[in-house]
Amino acid sequence: MALDVVDLRAFYASPLGHVARQAVGRVVIRLWPHCQRQRLLGLGFATPYLPLIGGEAERVIAFMPAAQGVLNWPSQGLSASALVEPTLLPLPTASVDRVLIVHALEETESPEDLLEEASRVLNPGGRLIVIVPNRRGLWARMDTTPFGHGRPFSRSQLENLMRRAMFSPENWAEALYVPPLRRRLFLRSAGAWEKFGAGLALPFAGVHVVDATKQFYRQAPLRATRRSFAFRPVLLPQPTPSRRLTRDRGASPPPG
């Protein structure tokens, strides 16, 4: 069952949601520190993170999947959010510079189609950040948060998926080392958990955060070909019958 936009909004309004936004947001800012004069697209439920990096962007829009629902965003001013089919985005080809995907890839039935559609709307050389649950992390094993729903990914699975969609992963990061518990002790020590886990590169982080670049061309696979070197003559010489043989065949048999 797909996540509901109301549940997502309620999670990010909770103390645990604030912790998740801060931990993941620090990684996103580190990967994309400058977005001046960039056209930025958020796909999924990216509105908690778009204000962190879109302050100086030329344009920021938020597309939310039809199965999830849509919220008016931002709360003040003109709305920049829309309800869409994530594999059929209502944008021209090569119309945006950067795409941030959150709470979308793990929920869709066809992750490769979603990434290919993101590649279509990106400029050549455009950049993409994907945030997905880590298969080995504790957050993916508990359905009390949005990161415990849908399909989690290992690093190798995510890398293969992105390369098939013409993306080249450039930077890998992890976040949410703190256990997904609402106890005050864990919430207050969340910063220490993140520093400790990232410093030791522990494998049980809650989410993968991948920064990738759109490739300019798709590499064509090389296939081995077999060639036959047997030469076959086109015209074969025909033997010519001799005159003697012709006379013998034409002579009448001797009398008995």
User: 87-112: per-residue pLDDT in tens?
Assistant: 999 999 999 999 999 999 999 999 99
Under the banding of pLDDT at 50, 70 and 90, the label for residue 181 is very high
* Mean pLDDT, all residues of the chain: 87
- Average pLDDT (55-84) is 93
With 70 as the cut, is the pLDDT of residue 43 above it?
yes
Per-residue pLDDT at 201: 84
Residue 57 corresponds to which amino acid?
Answer: A
Per-residue pLDDT at 93: 96
- Average pLDDT (18-42) is 96
Closest of 109, 160, 99 to residue 131, by C-alpha: 99
Under the banding of pLDDT at 50, 70 and 90, the label for residue 77 is confident
Q: Which CATH architecture has domain 5-214?
A: 3-Layer(aba) Sandwich (3.40)
Per-residue pLDDT at 3: 82
Per-residue pLDDT at 97: 97
Interatomic CA distance for residues 71 and 84, integer angstroms:
12
With 70 as the cut, is the pLDDT of residue 149 above it?
yes
Residue 203 corresponds to which amino acid?
Answer: P
Name the DSSP class of 2.
P
With 50 as the cut, is the pLDDT of residue 145 above it?
yes
Per-residue pLDDT at 241: 56
Residues 199 and 166: beta-carbon distance below 8 Å: no
Interatomic CA distance for residues 239 and 229, integer angstroms:
28
Residues in the chain: 256
With 70 as the cut, is the pLDDT of residue 221 above it?
no
With 80 as the cut, is the pLDDT of residue 1 above it?
no
113 or 247, which is more confident = 113
* Residues contacting 40, CB < 8 A, separation 6+: 50, 53, 54, 57, 59, 60, 61, 96, 97, 98, 99, 100
Under the banding of pLDDT at 50, 70 and 90, the label for residue 254 is low
With 50 as the cut, is the pLDDT of residue 231 above it?
no
* Dmax (CA) of the chain: 131
